[in-house]
């Protein structure tokens, strides 16, 4: 299976426009003009192409001015479903969003597809609503895909976890919906453990109240792995209570050169988050 981005002038676009109409809109008595190529022209159109250069799957990405992107119109022809094509389409659209410098992607999932998107790192962000065109119930979802970390925040996190070494250090990062980090909260690890952490409850509550007072969001939770790689442990996965929050892990296996990696963890599924460490 090949995947490539196309324009609306290519035959593959028209092929998948036909299938989108047939599967999504025709059953509700809507006219084919419900899909307007002129409106979709600026989007990033991705197709899955099978044998004989036949398009069998489609999705598009619409960048927004707030640093997010919307994934829409995900479709796979019936005879090609349940072969991983939908997952590949979403993954490649997310990669395109990262390439464009977007910090998160959103979508409206049919309620019977929510589990599929959760496995790909998306979390619900609102209540179920009826599509204004078809009345089919949908759920708004989003996934954080990238984070730019100012040098001052990176240094503050590293200084904190180095100071409590060989115990795990932990803390919170707050910011705005567009992904811009604003405030750092170092939190005491009340376990004082080298292999696990549990944030001191009062400090955590005070941090959350401070965020609420200023209208900020909890964008990231960080902790250190003093002697293991920067990848979520089974304990980290089990305790990922904030699925819409980036999990930053700082490894101190090499204390001279700490390394930080980002993830989202949704329903036990781990997805990478692209990190950019800004220069001082």
Q: Do residues 218 and 109 share a domain?
A: no
Q: Do residues 65 and 181 share a domain?
A: no
Q: How many domains does the chain have?
A: 2
Which residues form the domain of 210? Answer: 147-277
Q: What is the CATH number of the domain that holds 185?
A: 3.40.140.10
Domain closes at, from 144, 173, 204: 144
Q: Do residues 117 and 210 share a domain?
A: no
Q: Do residues 160 and 123 share a domain?
A: no
Q: Do residues 242 and 216 share a domain?
A: yes
Q: Do residues 16 and 140 share a domain?
A: yes
pTM: 0.91
The reported pLDDT for the residue numbered 52 is 78
The reported pLDDT for the residue numbered 50 is 86
Q: What is the CATH number of the domain that holds 102?
A: 3.40.630.30
Cβ atoms within 10 Å of 251's Cβ, excluding its own: 20
Q: Do residues 193 and 121 share a domain?
A: no
Q: Do residues 118 and 14 share a domain?
A: yes
The reported pLDDT for the residue numbered 177 is 83
CA 53/CA 11 separation, integer angstroms: 10
Q: Do residues 114 and 28 share a domain?
A: yes
The reported pLDDT for the residue numbered 216 is 96
Domain closes at, from 144, 159, 185: 144
Q: Do residues 10 and 136 share a domain?
A: yes
Each residue's pLDDT, cut to its tens digit, for the chain (280 residues) gives: 999 999 999 999 999 999 999 999 999 999 999 999 999 999 999 999 988 789 999 999 999 999 999 999 999 999 999 999 999 999 999 999 999 999 999 999 999 999 999 999 999 999 999 999 999 999 999 999 999 999 999 999 999 999 999 999 999 999 998 889 999 999 999 999 999 999 999 999 999 999 999 999 999 999 999 999 999 999 999 999 999 999 999 999 999 999 999 999 999 999 999 999 998 8
Q: Do residues 241 and 160 share a domain?
A: yes
Domain closes at, from 144, 168, 189: 144
Q: Do residues 140 and 191 share a domain?
A: no
Cβ atoms within 10 Å of 216's Cβ, excluding its own: 19
């Amino acid at each position: 299976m090949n995947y490539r981005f196309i324009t609306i002038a290519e035959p593959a676009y028209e092929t998948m426009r036909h299938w989108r109409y047939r599967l999504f809109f025709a059953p509700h008595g809507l006219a084919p003009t419900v899909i307007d190529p002129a409106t979709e022209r600026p989007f990033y159109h991705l197709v899955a192409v099978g044998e004989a250069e036949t398009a069998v799957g489609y999705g598009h990405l619409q960048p927004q001015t707030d640093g997010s992107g919307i994934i829409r119109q995900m479709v796979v022809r019936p005879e090609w479903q349940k072969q991983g094509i939908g997952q590949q389409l979403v993954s490649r659209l997310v990669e395109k969003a990262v390439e464009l410098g977007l910090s998160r992607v959103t979508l409206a999932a049919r309620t019977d597809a929510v589990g599929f998107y959760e496995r790909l790192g998306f979390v619900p962000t609102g209540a179920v609503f009826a599509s204004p065109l078809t009345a089919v119930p949908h759920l708004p979802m989003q996934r954080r895909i990238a984070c730019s970390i100012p040098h001052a925040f990176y240094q503050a996190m590293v200084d904190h976890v180095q100071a409590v070494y060989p115990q795990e250090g932990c803390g919170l990062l707050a910011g705005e919906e567009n992904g811009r980090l604003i405030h750092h909260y170092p939190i005491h690890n009340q376990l004082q453990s080298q292999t696990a952490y549990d944030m001191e409850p009062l400090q955590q509550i005070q941090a959350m109240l401070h965020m609420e007072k200023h209208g900020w969001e909890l964008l990231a939770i960080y902790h250190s792995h003093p002697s293991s790689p920067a990848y979520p442990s089974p304990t980290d996965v089990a305790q990922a209570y904030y699925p819409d929050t980036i999990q930053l892990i700082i490894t101190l296996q090499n204390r001279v050169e700490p390394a930080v990696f980002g993830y989202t963890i949704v329903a036990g599924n781990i997805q990478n988050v692209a990190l950019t460490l800004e220069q001082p």
